[in-house]
């Protein structure tokens, strides 16, 4: 899918839409993403009233409920600044589904369209807008990258995370088998169809481990929750105390590799 976003100059300010998962479950990833952006000389604004993009309800078929939550987010970004989202699936929701969600409400539709045009997934923003060239200051390290299906197929930004990692001199990025296949998260899918979702994450973790990478990084915390949750469950079953597949958000990894929080 092509990305109609047009951002030509380097902005001085951006909004940060953390997503509910990052706010509650991966706050460190959110903080690292903000720090990373600030280190590029950008003022990062975190609208205090943000909650959730509405995707859980939307993809579960509860459009009215999704609309109600999405309508609230529409009010949070009054200035014409880019909206950076550390998640491909939430960015995809705001970029591609908000305009459709408010199709019947001309006022909100116009707001949704203006918002949609300003939404960036984090790695996309770093590469396409900031042309971020990370200076690696870490030692040799082997990582594997998992890209979410939304980032890949909805946002079409499956190459930006890879590009950022490729810029790190001492980091080698290995490729897992069936790289483009879904990890099995899919929001409520993981609880409504636990057998199938479980089989998918089992295969995904197996493929990630088979690369021999030290850690998995991803720009989507939904996938990470699923992948790391399964790896930790395996460790628990096997009585291991050290994680057999450590992982983190790509923002945390990038920040640490480029000098930490300083």
Partner 1 sequence: MSEHTLHFKPAEGFRARSKAVVDNPFLRQSFRGAMDFLMSKRAAQFPDPEELESLRSLGEAIRQYNLAKLPDLLEQLEANLTRNGVKVHWAETPDEANTIILGIIQGHGATKMVKGKSMVSEEIELNHAAEAAGIEALESDMGEYIVQLAGEKPSHIIMPAIHKTKEEIARLFAEKVPGVDYTDNVDALIQIGRNVLRRKFQEAEIGLSGVNFAVAETGTLCLVENEGNGRMCTTAPAIHIAITGIEKIVEKLEHIPPLYSLLTRSATGQNISTYFNMISSPRKPGEKDGPEEVHLVLLDNGRSQAYADEQLRKTLQCIRCGACMNHCPVYTRIGGHAYGTTYPGPIGKIVSPHMLGLDATAGLTTASSLCGACGEVCPVKIPIPELLVRLRNEAFSAPHANPAMRGQGAGHSALQSAIWRGWAAVYGSPALYRAVSWLGSRLRFLVPRRQGGWTSVRTPLQPAPKRLRDLLKDRN
Closest distance of CB 100 from partner 1, Å: 9
Residue whose CB is less far from partner 1, 124 or 168:
124
Does the protein bind partner 1 through residue 48 (CB under 8 A)?
yes
Which span sits near partner 1 by CB under 8 A: 26-34, 123-131, 161-169, 207-215? 26-34
Using CB under 8 A, which residues numbered 185 to 244 contact partner 1?
185-202, 225-226, 229-230, 232-233, 236
Does the protein bind partner 1 through residue 180 (CB under 8 A)?
yes
**Total residues at the site for partner 1 (CB under 8 A)?**
68
Burial group, residue 122, by CB count within 10 angstroms (0-12, 13-18, 19+): buried
d(CA 230, CA 135): 33
Does the protein bind partner 1 through residue 159 (CB under 8 A)?
no
Closest distance of CB 49 from partner 1, Å: 4
For CA atoms 99, 100, 103, 104, give the dihedral sign: negative
Which residues of the shown chain bind partner 1 in the complex (CB under 8 A)?
18, 20, 22-28, 30-31, 34, 46, 48-52, 54, 56-66, 68-69, 71-72, 149-150, 152-154, 180-182, 184-202, 225-226, 229-230, 232-233, 236
């Amino acid at each position: 899918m092509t990305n109609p976003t047009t951002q030509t100059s380097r902005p001085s300010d951006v909004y940060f839409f953390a997503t509910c998962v990052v706010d509650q479950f991966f706050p460190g990833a959110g903080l690292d993403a903000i720090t990373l952006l600030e280190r590029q000389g950008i003022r990062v604004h975190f609208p205090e009233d943000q909650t959730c993009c509405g995707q859980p309800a939307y993809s579960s078929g509860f459009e009215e409920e999704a609309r109600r939550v999405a309508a609230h987010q529409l009010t949070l970004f009054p200035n014409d600044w880019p909206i950076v989202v550390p998640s491909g699936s939430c960015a995809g929701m705001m970029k591609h589904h908000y305009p459709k969600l408010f199709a019947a409400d001309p006022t909100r539709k116009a707001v949704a369209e203006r918002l949609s045009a300003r939404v960036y997934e984090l790695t996309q923003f770093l590469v396409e807008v900031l042309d971020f060239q990370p200076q690696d200051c870490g030692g040799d390290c082997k990582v594997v990258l998992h890209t979410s299906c939304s980032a890949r197929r909805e946002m079409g930004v499956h190459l930006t995370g890879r590009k950022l990692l490729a810029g790190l001199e001492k980091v080698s990025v290995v490729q897992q088998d069936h790289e483009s296949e879904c990890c099995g998260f899919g929001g409520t899918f993981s609880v409504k169809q636990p057998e199938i979702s479980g089989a998918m994450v089992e295969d995904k973790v197996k493929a990630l481990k088979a690369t021999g990478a030290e850690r998995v990084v991803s720009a989507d915390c939904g996938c990470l929750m699923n992948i790391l949750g399964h790896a930790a469950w395996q460790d628990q079953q096997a009585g291991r105390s050290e994680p057999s597949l450590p992982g983190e958000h790509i923002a945390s990894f990038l920040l640490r590799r480029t000098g930490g929080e300083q």
